[in-house]
């Protein structure tokens, strides 16, 4: 496949949360390949540092990795400030970090619920809060929030996760209207079944189960992290300059 080149992205600052592995790492690779200046946050320092070395070997500019526990909002704000000081005003924010921990409704404690909302939604709100002034200062930008088809399909083992991912769409709609006059676009992406290394290790060790789920897709091919990254590149680029307040499903038509 020939990858699309978005020349307008070159030199722009892109901030990605949860960028050390899985779909987040695909975002880092894809944006770095477009010549952007990437800063990414993640709690996994080892994976983050390894990704920096990998990308630096194939790109003109190494991404900036800032270790951060996104559950700590003060730490999140400090990490975003570090990226801002090093790279400048963000043109693109990709709110990617999440955890799709399975839960049994009757067993969820208030602490576990708060943790799920914190790891899947709270940091999205406060990262946007911190970055919007940067985008206003530069005259515009693109915020891309990661939702999920889990809330659309009603995934029974993900009650708190689905609630958080639905909340992200509500926040996307509200924020898009609030910051639209500043030429800041806000959209969401809802991936389908993307089998990352973590997904395979924790939830889908059986290839037969994966194959069965793919029979529910209209397009039978696997949805990959790179597929999600391609959508993010489009939403970050000037090619989508009149698109805002949308949630794009990238799920091969999963029913």
Active site residues: 161
Cα(230)–Cα(111) distance, integer angstroms: 36
3-state secondary structure of 227: helix
Based on C-alpha coordinates, what's the Rg of the chain? 17
CB neighbour list of residue 102: distance below 8 Å, 6 or more residues apart? 157, 158, 203
**Residue 186: C-alpha distances to residues 42, 121, 243 (Å):** 22, 15, 8
Among residues 178, 88, 200, 87, the alpha carbon closest in space to that of 128 is found at: 178
Cα(216)–Cα(204) distance, integer angstroms: 16
Question: Partners of 64 in the beta sheet?
Answer: 39
3-state secondary structure of 255: coil
């Amino acid at each position: 496949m020939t990858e699309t080149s978005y020349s307008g992205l070159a030199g722009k600052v892109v901030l990605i949360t949860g960028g050390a592995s899985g779909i987040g790492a695909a975002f880092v690779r894809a944006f770095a390949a477009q010549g952007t200046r990437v800063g990414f946050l993640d709690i996994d320092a080892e994976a983050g540092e390894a990704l920096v070395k990998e990308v630096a070997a194939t790109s003109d500019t190494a991404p900036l990795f800032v270790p951060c526990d996104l559950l700590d909002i003060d730490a999140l704000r400090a990490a975003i400030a570090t990226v801002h000081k090093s790279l400048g005003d963000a043109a693109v924010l990709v709110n990617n970090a999440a955890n799709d921990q399975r839960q049994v409704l009757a067993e969820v404690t208030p602490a576990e619920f708060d943790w799920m909302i914190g790891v899947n939604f709270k940091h999205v709100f406060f990262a946007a809060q911190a970055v919007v002034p940067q985008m206003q200062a530069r005259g515009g930008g693109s915020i891309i929030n990661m939702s999920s088809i889990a809330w659309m399909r009603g995934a029974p083992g993900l009650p708190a996760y689905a609630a958080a991912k639905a909340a992200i769409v509500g926040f996307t709609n509200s924020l898009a209207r609030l910051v639209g006059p500043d030429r800041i676009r806000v959209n969401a992406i809802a991936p389908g079944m993307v089998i990352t290394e973590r997904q395979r290790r924790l939830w889908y060790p059986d290839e037969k189960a994966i194959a069965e789920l793919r029979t529910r897709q209209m397009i039978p091919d696997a949805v990959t992290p790179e597929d999600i990254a391609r959508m993010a590149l489009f939403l970050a680029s000037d090619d989508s300059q009149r698109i805002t307040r949308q949630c794009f499903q990238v799920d091969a038509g999963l029913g």
